[in-house]
Amino acid sequence: MSWHSVIGQERIKKILQRSFATGKISHAYLFHGPEGTGKDAAAIAFAKLLNCEQPIDGNSCDTCSGCRRISSLQHPNVQFIVPMPVGKNEKEGDDPFKNLDQEAISEYRQAFGRKSENPYYRISLSKANTIKINSIRELRKSINLARAERGKKVIIISGADKMNDNAANSLLKTLEEPTPNTVLILTTSNHDKLLPTIISRCQMVRFELLREEEIKKGLMEKNNTNEEQQAILISKMANGSFQRALELTGTDLVSQREEMIDLLRSILARSPSIWMKEIEDFLGPKDRYNVVRSLMLLNLWVRDALMLQNENGDAIINLDQRKPLDKFITHFHQAELTSVIYAIERAIALVEKNIYLSLVLLNLAFDIRQFILRR
């Protein structure tokens, strides 16, 4: 069923299903809330429901030709508008595609292909910083055209805060004169950047951060991973965003965690000349993003050790690490693990601030020794 492609957000699904059932559908919605929480995914699912030939209990069938064409983002009733590059010598009133070169067009097609496979994919085209006035003009034209298809016309403006002033003013005119059978859905994670006059004409629908449990379930159900431990680690690191969770599925977090635990053991047991070299080797091929991820994994592991130290073993996240964690806290029973966690968090902030990586990790290593070995 179509809502199946939207992770969590049960409250919003109910609101939209109810308005479908009662026929009280707004002519404009503003889906707002943090990045990666499913605003575009919900907009596509809602467009499907509004155009499905045989909806059942507030769900689209996912099999009729309408559903299938919307899934592949190729239904004439559904338009999906994103920031696009400005073509060479493009003038106001031109078709938004007319002056684009071949490369830009194929990038656009590819991005839409990926979006149709994964509604959580974020389309970000090169040199595309704003939603062009010509895209909005085009949508106004298409609203006014006689509809060949049954169902409702749905126009999704993704990243609506990226409209430039001209585009926003042009959209405002459309919002002021609603057309029957047309639904506009604006999605944004920065709704405070929209004109208040636009906001006041839309029904606001607020998306919340996803719960860890929902992210984990979503990952397992969609076969993004079938390793439960990997899904748990991702859900802890995704900060409520399924988009971020999907980005993390590409990395083997379990091995990355092992690498960090080995490094931790070495820092605690061996002489500085050895682990200093190991830190350099560890950093070797990694970018900042990667180092942050490793530090987050280490932090989750130390957090679990703290849980065990406080006799709260039910709360551990690294379920497969129960034995090594037990051994660790038996061996280092006097460790000040809260201080270690703060030190790792500080290190993460410094890595993100572009401070020299080796320096940050060496300082962290000395902090860890001090707080765990207590000397």
Q: Torsions phi, psi of 143, nearest 5?
A: -65, -40
Phi-psi region of 243 (alpha: psi -120 to 50; beta: other; left: phi over 0): alpha
Give the count of beta carbons closer than 10 Å to the beta carbon of residue 226.
9
With CB under 5 A as the contact rule, the residue among 64, 175, 199, 209 that binds Zn ion is: 64
Assess 2 for contact with Zn ion (CB under 5 A). no
Burial class for 331, CB neighbours closer than 10 Å (0-12, 13-18, 19+): exposed
DSSP code for 97: T
Give least dist CB 72 to Zn ion, A.
13
Closest by Cα among 120, 103, 107, 163 to 139: 163
Q: Which is closer to Zn ion, CB of 61 or CB of 355?
A: 61
CA distance 138 to 22: 31
Give least dist CB 213 to Zn ion, A.
30
With CB under 5 A as the contact rule, the residue among 67, 246, 261, 337 that binds Zn ion is: 67
Q: Which is closer to Zn ion, CB of 75 or CB of 132?
A: 75
With CB under 5 A as the contact rule, the residue among 52, 81, 157, 202 that binds Zn ion is: 52
With CB under 5 A as the contact rule, the residue among 61, 195, 209, 362 that binds Zn ion is: 61
Assess 71 for contact with Zn ion (CB under 5 A). no
Q: Which is closer to Zn ion, CB of 70 or CB of 248?
A: 70
Please tell me whether residue 80 adopts helix, strand or coil conformation. Answer: strand
With CB under 5 A as the contact rule, the residue among 9, 37, 59, 60 that binds Zn ion is: 60
The number of residues that bind Zn ion (CB under 5 A) is 5
Q: Which is closer to Zn ion, CB of 60 or CB of 187?
A: 60
User: Segment near Zn ion (CB under 5 A), from 67-75, 185-193, 234-242, 260-268?
Assistant: 67-75
Q: Which is closer to Zn ion, CB of 63 or CB of 312?
A: 63
Maximum Cα–Cα distance for the chain, whole Å? 79
Burial class for 268, CB neighbours closer than 10 Å (0-12, 13-18, 19+): middle
Assess 368 for contact with Zn ion (CB under 5 A). no
Point out which residues bind Zn ion (CB under 5 A).
52, 60-61, 64, 67
